[in-house]
A and B are shown apart, each in its own frame.
Chain A
Amino acid sequence: MRGFDFLSPKSLIAALRAIDGKAPTCKLLAGGTNVIPTLRDGTLKPRFVVDLGGIKALNYIREKQGWIQIGALTTIRDLLNSPLIKKKGSLLWEATHIFAGPLVRNRATVGGNLADASPAADTAVPLLALGARVKLRSLKGQRTVPLNRFFAGYQRTVIKPGEIVTEVTFPVPARGRKQSYYKLGRRNAMAISVVSVAVLLQMKGKICTDTAIALGAVAPTPLRVEKAEGILRGKKVDLELVKHCAQAAAKSVKPIDDIRASADYRRTLCEVLVHRMICQSLGLEDAD
Chain B
Amino acid sequence: MKTLSVQFKVNGEEVQAEMPTHITLLQALRELGYTEVKNGCEKGDCGSCTVLLDGLPVNSCLVLAVQATGREVTTVRGIGSLDNLHPLQKNFIEHGAIQCGFCTPGMLLSAKALLDENPSPTRKEIREQISGNLCRCTGYVKIVDAIMETTSEGSKAGKRRPRARKC
Per DSSP, chain B at the interface is mixed
Q: Are A103 and B21 in contact, with the CB atoms below 8 A?
A: no
| Interface positions of A from 88 to 122, Cβ below 8 Å from B | 100-104, 106-107
- In the complex, what distance in Å separates the CA atom of A36 from the CA atom of B22? 9
**Which residues from chain B contact A265 at a C-beta distance below 8 Å?**
none
Q: Give the size category of A's interface with B.
A: 20 to 34
Q: Are B62 and A102 in contact, with the CB atoms below 8 A?
A: no
- In the complex, what distance in Å separates the CA atom of A161 from the CA atom of B128? 39
Q: Are B132 and A40 in contact, with the CB atoms below 8 A?
A: no
* Closest CB in chain A relative to B38 CB, distance in Å: 14
Residue of B nearest to A32 (CB): B62
Q: Which residues of A come within 8 Å of B, CB atoms?
A: 1-6, 8, 29, 31-33, 36-37, 39-40, 49, 51, 53, 77, 100-104, 106-107, 188-190
**Which residues from chain A contact B21 at a C-beta distance below 8 Å?**
3-6, 49
Given contacts A32-B62, A37-B44, A102-B129, contact A3 B56 (CB under 8 A): no
* Closest CB in chain A relative to B62 CB, distance in Å: 5
> B50 at the A/B interface (Cβ < 8 Å)?
yes
Q: Are A36 and B131 in contact, with the CB atoms below 8 A?
A: no
Q: Which of B63-71, B88-96, B145-153 contacts A (4 or more CB under 8 A)?
A: B63-71
> B59 at the A/B interface (Cβ < 8 Å)?
yes
**Which residues from chain A contact B42 at a C-beta distance below 8 Å?**
37, 40
* Closest CB in chain B relative to A200 CB, distance in Å: 26
- In the complex, what distance in Å separates the CA atom of A88 from the CA atom of B70? 36
Residue of B nearest to A33 (CB): B62
Q: Are B110 and A103 in contact, with the CB atoms below 8 A?
A: yes
Residue of A nearest to B63 (CB): A32
* Contacts beyond the supplied A40-B42, A103-B59, A107-B62: 17 A-B pairs with Cβ under 8 Å: A8-B66, A33-B44, A37-B43, A40-B22, A40-B61, A51-B64, A101-B47, A101-B133, A102-B110, A102-B128, A103-B44, A103-B58, A104-B59, A106-B57, A107-B58, A107-B59, A188-B131
